[in-house]
Amino acid sequence: MVVLSQPTALDHFSLIKSCKPTSLFTGIPVVDLSDSDAKSQIIRASEEYGFFKVVNHGVPLEFMTTLEAQALKFFNLPQPEKDRAGPADPFGYGSKRIGPNGDIGWIEYILLNANPEIISHKSLSIFKDNPEISRSAVEDYVSAVKKMSCEVLEMMAEGLGSDERNVLSKLLRDEKSDSCFRLNYYPPCPELQTLSGRNLIGFGEHTDPQIISVLRSNNTSSLQISLKDGTWVSVPPDQTSFFINVGDCLQVMTNGRFKSVKHRVLAGTVSSRISMIYFGGPPLSERITPLASVMAEGEESLYNEFTWFEYKKSAYKSRLADYRLGLFEKSFGQ
């Protein structure tokens, strides 16, 4: 009989059965943004997976490594010092609790507003009270990633046949863009070694509600995505590249042609994981409807029209694993 060193340490966390170790999935599409065929590769990847890796992205490696080092310095502080940056409301520091509806994970995080035009007081106070993370490092990183995200969205628009190249990117560049930035830290969990055949959820399965999410992490293989057939596969890590997630809004804007990817993170036993995610969102008042260029003559929208504010409000009332778009899908007669 094996007894955990701290019998109640994992009592409230989600454990999932793992029939066999999930091998790294080698089929993740890789898009070279300098390639003349990049836009068609992005379209295929967004249709098939809702997820792809980008290389030759133009974001300086120094921006990534500097911010990662600062984030690690913060997350390694004594717990009382970290707690002063919380609780998350939604901005600020959070630990274990994900959102207001009962979801928990083996995670610590800081959520910041990513739009310098409407930066929250909470975000400003975090920079002021926690010198471990500098505002300039965050802004350098977010600015570079946002620029790359807009480039990807403009390639998408072209690939979808839109006459308006910035039809998607202008929503992120808008001075009222409701975008955010999250630093996630998944500490190692040595107790997992006693849980034969099970894994600990770091961040539960979900889709991202925004238009696009851009992820960069350290060299750990904890991220998994769900394929079309429901199979979960592990994403090979690459700390010099970025991974792009199609979000719920982009699924609607392509009338279901692109699929918002379901993903999750599992905790590790030895290595910690740190990830940095830019969530590109539209202004709160933006009406989310399919682009004209994706609609065939006579084709109907699969979704009822909504504003980003309405969808965001609905999403934050849901649990992580809920199919949030279901509330906005049209019901067609049999």
Q: What positions carry a catalytic annotation?
A: 273
The answer to whether 198 and 13 are in contact (CB under 8 A) is: no
Joined together, the tokens standing for residue 111 give 């959520």
Buried b (16+ CB within 10 A) or exposed e, 40-69: ebbbebbeebbbbbbeebebeeebbebbbe
Maximum CA pair distance of the chain?
Answer: 66
CA distance 130 to 186: 20
Q: Using CA atoms, how far apart are residues 94 and 108, in angstroms rounded to an integer?
A: 6
What is the rounded radius of gyration, in angstroms, for the C-alpha atoms of the chain? 20
Q: How far from 12 is each of 203, 226, 332, CA to CA, in Å? A: 14, 24, 41
